[in-house]
A and B are shown apart, each in its own frame.
Chain A
Amino acid sequence: MKFFKTKPSAISQRYVISPAEFDEVTERKFPFEQKNTDKRISLYGICPSCLNPIQLVGMSSESKMSPYGKHTGKNVNGLPRWNQEKYEYCPYAAEKNRKQIDENELLPEITDNVIELYNLLRDNFDRVVYVVQKSLDIRCSPKFWKEALKQYLANNAYLYPWLTESNLPYIFALRGMTHNRVFGQRVRIGTELYEKLNKHKYVNMLDVDNQNDDYRIISNKGGFLNIEFRFAGHQQKAGDGETLVESVRFCIDDLMTGKMVHDKRIEFDETYFMNIVNSQKSNYRNKTLLDIANKLMPPLS
């Protein structure tokens, strides 16, 4: 992997694995730099996904490879205890050790990690919605997002084993938005999605408030329009030294004809959501959405 953490928390900052960043963030202090029993000095961090100890390699100037992290597979002094189960769900785990994604699987119990990610969603629901809308070129109503959140919670999606702080918005779409109606929501003009929808025999794009903004409302004319969002096929691809490539299939189905109106694989940006969460500049918050999340999400126990 290309990132490391210094705290075993789902929401703590990720840092780039590079000599300069490592020096600045850790000051080479124990346990991140430590002597082994054979007196060799090794560099360590915490896996950003499964929060297990990782060794940082390729960090010297003589090294021919780019710096990256690899799981230690065992306990390291001063770092979180090695957790084999969490490792098996890690997208950075070696292929032979890694559990294949099963979208129906849920963790059997609520852990600290689950609580952290649940609270992250509740406290940043407006930002989750922002990322989803931006990624999909849509804008949906608060009522739509309230129903999506209810669906996410009703299906205990916060127990999805492959949920992390970096894929949270996309997993929210996967489990909360899927099978919800497209009618009445807004799509950005000039996008591939807009063009596909506009070709539909019964779709009529409306500019209701004459706001002349970049979005149109998906309405109908001349026939009954029953189209819904569908998300499926969550995939993760990562290897030693590689950036994680995570994606999900974003589809729109016409339930009257059984055909797909839109089908595109969306790749997640690994750091986008948490950059917004951690940014000092993002002062604008959507109180309506935050109120919805606060009402629907009592503390987990």
Chain B
Amino acid sequence: MDNNKLKEIFFNRAEVEDAERVICDNCFEHTVFYLKDSQGRDFSLGLMTVLECVAFAISNGDLPKLPSCWLSDVDSVYGTDFSAKEDIFYFQNREYSYEG
């Protein structure tokens, strides 16, 4: 890809307009965000993609590490495998959060 194209993409920053809960038996995407880019074009972004971006940022040192129990909960509910990525978490057991 040439530099002009890269610049165009880079500055075409999208903003979240809305978010929606999804119940989809096939993809199991829990939440989908509706975004609009600077050209006014609509597109969507799934929660799983957001989590992957967060994992990338943590492994690059741009975000602090997450507790292992948090990632374990995410994996448990969403069927992901973030708790296998050793460079994005620190070990912490779950503190039981509520009575109920």
Contacts and interface: CB of A to CB of B under 8 A. Distances in A.
A219 interface: yes
Contact of A255 (B21, B73, B100): B73
Interface string A127-162: 000000000000001110001000000000000000
Contacts of B26: 141, 143
Contact of A219 (B23, B73, B99): B23
Interface string B75-98: 011010000000000000010111
B62 interface: no
Given A142-B25, A143-B25, A219-B23, A256 B94 contact: yes
Given A226-B77, A228-B76, A200 B100 contact: yes
B56 interface: no
Q: Is the interface of B mostly helix, strand, loop or mixed?
A: loop
Q: Is the interface of A mostly helix, strand, loop or mixed?
A: loop
B28 interface: yes
* Best-buried of A142, A184, A217, A224 by chain B (most CB within 10 Å): A184
B97 A183 contact: no
B3 to A, nearest CB: 43
Contacts, number: 44
15 contacts: A141-B25, A141-B26, A142-B25, A143-B25, A181-B77, A184-B23, A184-B28, A208-B23, A219-B23, A226-B73, A226-B76, A256-B94, A256-B96, A256-B97, A257-B100
Nearest to A182: B77
B22 to A, nearest CB: 10
Given A143-B25, A201-B100, 20 more contacts: A141-B25, A147-B79, A181-B77, A183-B77, A184-B23, A200-B100, A208-B23, A217-B23, A219-B23, A223-B98, A224-B77, A225-B77, A228-B76, A255-B73, A255-B94, A256-B94, A256-B97, A256-B98, A257-B97, A257-B98
- Interface size of A as a range: 20 to 34
Interface string B39-70: 00000000000000000000000000000000
Nearest to A199: B100
A208 B20 CA distance: 13
A206 interface: yes
* Best-buried of A219, A223, A257 by chain B (most CB within 10 Å): A257
A256 B28 CA distance: 21
Contacts of B100: 200-201, 257
A71 to B, nearest CB: 45
Contact of B96 (A142, A147, A257): A257
A200 to B, nearest CB: 7
Closest 7 pairs (CB-CB, A-B): A141-B25, A201-B100, A208-B23, A226-B73, A257-B96, A226-B77, A258-B96
